[in-house]
Structure 1
Amino acid sequence: MGMSSRENLFGGFLSGLVLQTILFGVITVQAFLYYRRFPTDHISLKFAVGFLWLVQTFQVITSTVSVRMTFIHHFGVQSSTTVWYDTVYQISMVICSTIVQIYFVFRLYRLVSGSIWLPALLALLIPAQVGTGFTIWVKANITHGIESFVRPTRHLMISWLTLEAVADLMIAFAMSYFLHRRRTGFRQTDTVLRQLIVYAINTGLLTSVLALAVMFAFAFYGFHFVHMMFVLPLGGVYTASLLANLHSRSRLRAELHSGKNGISIHLSHLPPKIHNQISAMA
């Protein structure tokens, strides 16, 4: 027996809140450890991490309020309208994905040694997905009606999530390509570069696959259980991927100095060009 539209919508939202809350716990621990391990990071990066944590905190709070109002305060009432806290997950997703993508585009810009064409192309995709995502959020808060909101924003929703996935994939494979070209011939350094490539691909694939899953679920079924369950924690996945990338620097730098898998060569002993290339990513 299939689920009703109400079970799809609110059941998916509740399941998404559970996943989002679990992920928020992981993000909180990651953020705490980040400030302990990297006190010398640039203030802008510290601010970005703190701001992303605040966005996730606000999203968990508003999503919890939304679930409480639906299942307790309005229990048994068939509601077809929304209020502002029902749609916070949408703008939260836009904010988190934008900040994380900008961070990786900046890292890519450093990796390609100042070449502007690829970062510029990605910089065009990011405002496009911000514009479509923001428009969806505005429309949801203007119409306040679920059915009246779905039909006119169907193409926008599909475009938004597709742009998210395309940008993530382009960043992941571009970073992998340029990292592969930066091989130095030193065994220790090339091992670290291979690990960076794996991190880049895994990070981009995770967010893009989730974005595409949410997009196809919405394209075929609208506000389906799968769509609602994964769209809520998607912003948290972006935040967690950024924090995981930041934390990976400790292990990679330690491996460069450890002497595992070969002769240990301190970064300061490498040629300046190679030193700069590794420092840009590790």
Structure 2
Amino acid sequence: MSAPPSGPSLPKPESITASLLLGAMFNWALWGVLGCQTYLYHIYFPNDKAAFKYLIYGVFLFETAQTALNTHDTYIWFSRGFGDFLNFTKVLTSPLNTPMMGAVIALVVQLFYAHRIWTLRKSWLWFCMLLVGITLAQTGGAFYGGIRAFQAGSFVKAQTDPSNRRAVYVWLIGEAVADVLIAAAMVYLMILRRGQSHRFRSHGILARVVTITVESNCATASLAILSLIMFAGIPDTNYFTCPTIVIGKVYANTLLVSFNNRIVLRNLSQIGSPSFSSGSNIVTSSRLPLQKSTPSSAGRAFESDTITYTVHRFTETDSTTEKMDHELQETSAMKGSPSHHV
């Protein structure tokens, strides 16, 4: 008597469980980084515009909710359903907390950069509208794919659904294309303005802003491309879920980095100026002929062969801070947001 035909072999457990576990761990780690970034923003920029505060705190609360939903799924996958291999194929709330919520954060961040580009170059309205169209398309693809995944109920059925696969392609390709266009636009704007920047510190601020923007968008674009490669190139696995779980956190952190970068810009705004402040000291320098003297107290001149350094003690007042912020505002137009008191 012949043996009954065997059914299809089950995939290796790690091909299903590893990405879910690692994605949850990285998600929590990036949420901690986001919390630190939000705290720094709260401390250093208490006088920011209300719209900026709503944006920053709203993004943090939104990502906190996403972390809670992902934690709920992880608990069911690895704790309450422990021992049931088929339990790992259930999508639970992942279609909501991964493609849908991640696409919303990507939409917010990409619209922020589109507005910045339009502010810097009014004649590029057509380019900004193109960015808006792409980011709306990727958001639509993410929502459609999430709905189809909810209807499928399992990762296996969702991956084999042609409509869902097309939606995922639109979502991830749209995010990558928008990020690459934003990075390219910022580099081109820096090249255009380089000839207009006659002061070293102005160029330093400009280069810093563009570098942060390019690095941030390259990181998010690379993550979207990696997710796409895993989704299309490694079938019958959940490997693609690891980068897609954290993609919203990466976008949120890049937004906070863009705002908190003003802390560094304030220091760069003083490079190349004739004075440098530190605490309650101002050190000024000037070229003088050869003189020799020995200082006996603070406030006296320290003279060398070619350079004289004079130290003055003073208490920094509000007017001094306002002057520093005014200089930063003049030299950081590339930043696209107003300077505020620290």
**TM-score (normalised: structure 2):** 0.74
1:207–1:234 CA contact under 8 A, matched in 2: yes
Deviation of residue 40 (structure 1)? 2.0
Bigger mean CA deviation after superposition, 159-168 or 175-184: 175-184
CA-to-aligned-CA distance 1:104-128 (integer Å, 9 cap, x gap): 1111111113531111111110110
2:44 aligned residue (23, 28, 37) = 37
Deviation of residue 187 (structure 1)? 1.3
1:82 aligned to 2:138? Answer: no
Question: SS of the residue aligned with 1:182?
Answer: helix
Deviation of residue 203 (structure 1)? 0.8
Pairs aligned (count): 276
- How far apart, CA to CA, are the structure 1 residues paired with 2:106 and 2:21? 22
Q: Which residue of 2 aligns with 1:151?
A: 160
2:180 aligned residue (150, 169, 185) = 169
- How far apart, CA to CA, are the structure 2 residues paired with 1:24 and 1:8? 25
Deviation of residue 277 (structure 1)? 3.5
Q: Which residue of 2 aligns with 1:64?
A: 71
Q: Which residue of 2 aligns with 1:277?
A: 333
2:156–2:236 CA contact under 8 A, matched in 1: no
Deviation of residue 141 (structure 1)? 1.3
Unaligned runs of 5+ in 2: 1-9, 276-322
Q: How has the CA–CA distance of structure 1 residues 63 and 268 changed in structure 2, closer, same or farther, with 3 Å as cutoff?
A: closer
CA-to-aligned-CA distance 1:55-108 (integer Å, 9 cap, x gap): 211122111111111122111112343323564222221111111111111111
Deviation of residue 159 (structure 1)? 2.2
1:182–1:277 CA contact under 8 A, matched in 2: no
2:41–2:260 CA contact under 8 A, matched in 1: yes
Question: Which structure is higher in RCO with an 8 Å CA cutoff and minimum separation 6?
Answer: 1
Unaligned runs of 5+ in 1: none
Q: Which residue of 2 aligns with 1:220?
A: 233
- How far apart, CA to CA, are the structure 2 residues paired with 1:180 and 1:71? 51
1:199 aligned to 2:212? Answer: yes
Q: In proportion to residue count, which structure has more strand? A: 2
Q: Which residue of 2 aligns with 1:118?
A: 127
Q: Which amino acid aligns with 2:182?
A: I
2:24–2:245 CA contact under 8 A, matched in 1: yes
Q: Which residue of 2 aligns with 1:108?
A: 117
1:135 aligned to 2:134? Answer: no
2:202–2:332 CA contact under 8 A, matched in 1: no
Q: Which amino acid aligns with 2:106?
A: S
CA-to-aligned-CA distance 1:185-243 (integer Å, 9 cap, x gap): 21110111111221121111110011101110111114645422211111000000110
Q: Which residue of 2 aligns with 1:252?
A: 265
Bigger mean CA deviation after superposition, 43-52 or 209-218: 43-52
- How far apart, CA to CA, are the structure 1 residues paired with 2:110 and 2:154? 31
C-alpha RMSD of the superposition: 2.5
Q: How has the CA–CA distance of structure 1 residues 267 and 64 changed in structure 2, closer, same or farther, with 3 Å as cutoff?
A: closer
Question: SS of the residue aligned with 2:111?
Answer: helix
2:91–2:154 CA contact under 8 A, matched in 1: yes
Q: Which portions of structure 1, spanning 4 or more consecutive aligned residues, are displaced by more than 3 angstroms?
A: 3-6, 222-226, 261-270, 274-279
Q: Which amino acid aligns with 2:249?
A: G
2:103–2:248 CA contact under 8 A, matched in 1: yes
